[in-house]
Structure 1
Amino acid sequence: MSQTAVPASPPAPAPLDRTARTVIAVVVLGMITTVLDATIVSVATDRLATEFAVSLTTVQWVMTGYLLAFTATIPLAGWAMDRYGARRVWLVAVGLFTAGSLLCGAAWSAPSLIGFRVLQGAGAGLVSPVGIAMVARAVGPQRMGRAMAVVGIPMMLGPILGPVIGGVLVDSVDWRWIFLVNIPAGLACLAWSVRALADDRGAGRERLDVLGLALLSPGLVALAYGVTAVASASGSSTAVVGGIGGGAVLLVAFVAHALRTDRPLVELRHFAHRGFATATAVQFLTVGVLTGAGFLLPLYHLIARGESELTTGLLLVPQGVGAALAMALTGRLVDRGRGRAVVLAGVGLLAVGFLGYTAVGRAPGQVWLGIALFAIGLGAGCIFAPTSAAAYAALDRAAIARATTTMSIAQRTGGVVATAVFATALQHHLSGAGGANPGDAFGATFWWPLAVAVLALVPAVLLPAPRPHHAPEGADR
């Protein structure tokens, strides 16, 4: 009697063990405050200008200083982990951020607040790449989907909840609490990290690529400063041209240097792996479009619809709900080899959501906008976990630290550039011939994030097909 062979279904990925769950929880606790803090200040700029009797141009440096310091320290993450161990670097990063938060809450002038924000940003720039690298090492490639779905929660919800929490604190308590609120979480994270994280001592002899650091960090900072000047009404042409041009020259010089050096600060040869290259490209475009949209969406409700800061934050909640729901549902799909399909669905949902916002010139109802925001959130929640899993699957464990640094730089650069492009487009439409209706100006501007979302379909389609778990590390398909 013959039997027809039935193809065996792929084995279910092993559950996350206690050690992996602990690392994930510690990292999420550490990341949530740093991500919130990047946007929580946005609703307090007028209050800070009044408090310190300075112009809005000066207060803008409270946000810009944080951004530049954040950007400057990211390239050090991979080298520092290899030399000193991820646990030590994590403790230093969270400690710097917490100390900076305390000092910001005690600031007595605008210059002191700006200086303390730089300290805070220096710590925050290390938290995300170090935390993600620790999670990737703890869970391994087979369980990366579920792990990154959880770690992605603060990255997706932080920009949405930041203005809401900031509005409540500024209106109900005092502006200082937008910084002091970080201290309990920071201290709890430090205490838990000391007790729960294993001491993974680094090699101790890892040489710092000094030339690479001298090219990359200033290049990223100059680029961020230049594109931020583009988005600022007070930005001069000298700042724009000098920042973008100088930054581009330094970054090109770094690429040439990195490709000739055995152990560069950031390992660009990882892009030879199809999985890493396409996943990083998807993150560059989608994190960019989501960061830029995080600038546009609140402004639309504040300017075109005349909502208050707190109401605006609450109206953006559907995006957070969609992101949380998607991340809760897609982690296991990624671990079962459905990552590329999940990414394609996510990018498509982003495009549909932004297409809905191109109609804001016709003043659609809040239900329409809520559905569009929910679609954007669903799309965002479908992207981070599978692209991270695809990127790390192409590399061996020893490469994780520097690969995480590379991806963090791509995300940050995409966010800065997209925000500048969207802000410039909005200014152009608002100041157009005859003065555009604010709704029409925003409707025209939302075609830009829609276009970037559609462009992200190209690397998403090129993501490699899932490999069997027994495939050798580093093989591409």
Structure 2
Amino acid sequence: MGAIVEEELEPLGWPLVRLALVIVLGGVAPLVDTTIVNVALPTVAADFGVGTTAIQWVSTGYLLALGVAIPVTSWATSRFGAARLWLAGLAVFLAGSALSGLSWNLGSLLVFRVLQGVGAGVLLPVLQTILVRAAGPAKTARLLTIVMLVSVIAPIAGPLVGGVIVDGGSWRWLFAINVPLCLTAIVLARRFVPMDSADRGSRLDLPGLGLLAPAVVALLFALTNAASGSGFVVPLSVGVVLLGGFVGWSLRRGERGLIPVRLFANRAFGASAAVLFLTGLSLYGALFLIPLYFEQERGLGAFAAGMILALQGVGSLLTRWVGGVVDRVGARVIAVVGIAGCAAATVPFVVAGPSTSFVVLGVALVVRGGALSAANIAVTSAAFTRLPREDVPSGAAVVRLVQQLGGSAGTAVLAAIAAAGAFHVAFVVSATLAIVAVGPALLLGRRKIVVAAR
């Protein structure tokens, strides 16, 4: 007769932990790049003698290039192997960083930022592919915890580091610091990231790419411009139409599609993608909104507001134990509790007044950071645990795309509301978006159990 017993967790082991540390080292630079560079844009604009509208393309061009590169990684991983693609992405990002630091005018900087964006678009999905394949279903959540902590802390740390560098020296150092980081990551990757097989006969789905890449560009461009209230309706419409065309083509193409739409038929993956989009709305939108609130509503300086925002990173560090719980009990409970905690921790900002204690708001940020980090670890793990090994690259590309689109949409929506001075309304929207994510989170995996023979 069998008895239901709790599954014993196999230790990660040093080789797997070492692999994660090596991979995360290479992923730090692209994760922090957008926020760290944004701090320097006014200085760069003054240096090159250009206006605010023109200089924003330094960030927009990077973001669009990243969005185009992500869908290609699924095919490229199969064609060249994940390890080779990882090294190539590091080399491209390194070259883009070095050249950006040497830019002589705005045009050259834009070209080199696009090169950087291509490298980042390769690195971020391949990072997950390598680690998920190495970990296997039983260890995925614990290994991804390392990545999730970095991915949550990096956007918060970016403005702080960027501010220190710009105040203490030249904006060019923002790009120069990536060079030794990427070189070290390449050396370590060549030694510790095992080479995997490559399918030389794999063919790129060019019609699919021709539909999806411009769809992503149009959607990201629309969302980036949405805060200004103009110039976003046409690209948004074009993006939606092209995305619909890609879905139709992918269904017809089947297994040979750029990214098989059938992945969403997997309940856990489809639910995870929906939750990651919604939490992307809440997380990245709030990363824009919270420091703006402290600066405009509470009169703090940029650096002080950034320091308070960094408390979310402290909360993320406190959830480093979550991966083991997810590997043991499944993702559903942690995801739902984390999302609910994020919504609850946003409430103090909804009701905050001119005299609301900074201590209260600081504690709320610690809770919010921990809750979001826990939810993202659980949801990202759930997205991959039941995917066949051959579908992991496509899954990684989808996960990164929905997070990118969610983050851009969240920033656009909350920025538009905040621009009207309605900070309390913006925080209500942020909390509501988190609550909505509970619905698809309830579809995630249940407690993991095994049957032991007696």
- Structure 1 and Structure 2 fold alike (TM over 0.5): yes
Of 256, 265, 282, the match for 1:272 = 265
Q: Which moved more, 1:358-367 or 1:397-406?
A: 358-367
Using the TM superposition, give the Cα deviation of residue 305 of structure 1 relative to its aligned residue in structure 2, in angstroms.
2.5
**Deviation digits for residues 127-172 of structure 1 (CA, Å, limit 9, x no counterpart):** 1100101000001000111101111122100111000100111111
CA distance in 1, matches of 2:46, 2:266: 52
> What residue number does 2:347 align with?
355
Once the two structures are TM-superposed, the CA of residue 469 in structure 1 deviates from its matched residue by 6.1
- 1:306-340 CA-to-partner distances (Å, cap 9, x unmatched) read 322222221112100001111x1211101111421
Q: Distance in 1 between matches of 2:69 and 2:27?
A: 16
Equivalence for 1:86: 82
Q: Give distance in 2, aligned partners of 1:279 and 1:455.
A: 13
Q: How far apart are the structure 2 equivalents of 1:469 and 1:158? A: 37
Q: Give the deviation of 1:6 after TM superposition.
A: 10
**Is the 2:87–2:189 Cα contact (8 Å) retained in structure 1?**
yes
Q: CA deviation at 1:124?
A: 0.4
Contact kept? 1:47, 1:175, Cα under 8 Å:
yes
Comparing 358-367 and 417-426, the one that deviates more: 358-367
> Which residue of 2 is the match for residue 460 of structure 1?
441
1:301 match: 294
RMSD between aligned alpha carbons? 1.7
Structure 1 letter corresponding to 2:292: L
* Pick aligned residue for 1:259 from 238, 242, 251: 251
Tell me: higher relative CO, structure 1 or 2? Use CA pairs within 8 A at least 6 residues apart. 2
Residue 421 of structure 1 and its aligned partner are, at CA, apart by 1.2
Report if aligned partners of 1:361, 1:443 keep a CA contact under 8 Å in 2: no
In the alignment, which residue of structure 2 is the partner of 1:445?
426
Distance in 1 between residues matched to 2:206 and 2:400, nearest whole Å: 20
Aligned to 2:333: 341
- Residue 160 of structure 1: aligned partner: 156
- Quick check: 1:164–1:309 contact (8 Å CA) kept in 2? no
Equivalent in the alignment of 1:131 = 127
Q: 1:344 to 1:173 in 2, by over 3 A?
A: same
Equivalent residue in structure 2 for 1:174, among 170, 178, 183: 170
2:41 to 45, 67, 70: 45
Name the counterpart of 2:391: 399
SS in 2 for 1:9: strand
- The answer to whether the 8 A contact 1:94-1:127 is kept is yes
Counterpart-to-counterpart distance in 1, 2:33 and 2:222: 22
User: What amino acid sits opposite 2:382 in the alignment?
Assistant: A
Structure 1 residue 7, shift from structure 2 partner = 4.5
> Aligned partners of 1:10 and 1:96: how far apart in 2?
45
| 1:202 is the counterpart of 2:198 | yes
Per the normalisation by structure 2, the TM-score is 0.96
Give, as a single letter, the amino acid of the residue that structure 1 aligns with 2:85. Answer: V
Aligned to 2:56: 60
Mapped to 2, the partners of 1:338 and 1:252 lie a distance apart of 33
Q: Is the 8 A contact 1:144 1:385 kept in 2?
A: no
Point out where structure 2 has 5 or more consecutive residues left out of the alignment: none
| Residue aligning to 2:284 | 291
1:72-128: CA deviation from partner (whole Å, max 9, x where unpaired): 110011110011100111111111111111111111112211211111011001111
* Residue 33 (str. 1) matches residue 33 (str. 2): no
Is the 2:7–2:449 contact (alpha carbons within 8 Å) kept by the matching residues of 1? no
CA contact (8 A) 1:70 1:123 kept: yes
Count, aligned residues: 451
Deviation of residue 453 (structure 1)?
A: 0.4
Could you state the TM-score of these two structures normalised by the residue count of structure 1?
0.91
Paired residue for 1:437?
none
Give the secondary-structure state (helix, strand or coil) at the position aligned to 1:395: coil
Q: Is the contact between residue 331 and residue 445 of structure 2 (CA under 8 Å) also seen in structure 1?
A: no
Q: Which amino acid aligns with 2:268?
A: G
Q: 1:338 to 1:213 in 2, by over 3 A?
A: closer
Cα deviations across residues 168-216 of structure 1 (Å, max 9, x unaligned)?
1111122111111111111100111111111113111111000000000
Q: Secondary structure at the match of 2:198?
A: coil
Q: Which residue of 2 aligns with 1:369?
A: 361
SS of the counterpart of 1:360? coil
Residues 419 and 361 (structure 1), Cα distance of their counterparts in 2 relative to 1, 3 Å cut = same
Which residue does the alignment assign to 1:77?
73
**What's the CA shift string for 1:261-300, capped at 9, x where partnerless?**
1311111101111111111111111022101111111212
Q: What corresponds to 1:317 in structure 2?
A: 310
Is the 2:144–2:377 Cα contact (8 Å) retained in structure 1? yes
- In structure 1, which of residues 234, 245, 250 is the aligned counterpart of residue 242 of structure 2? 250
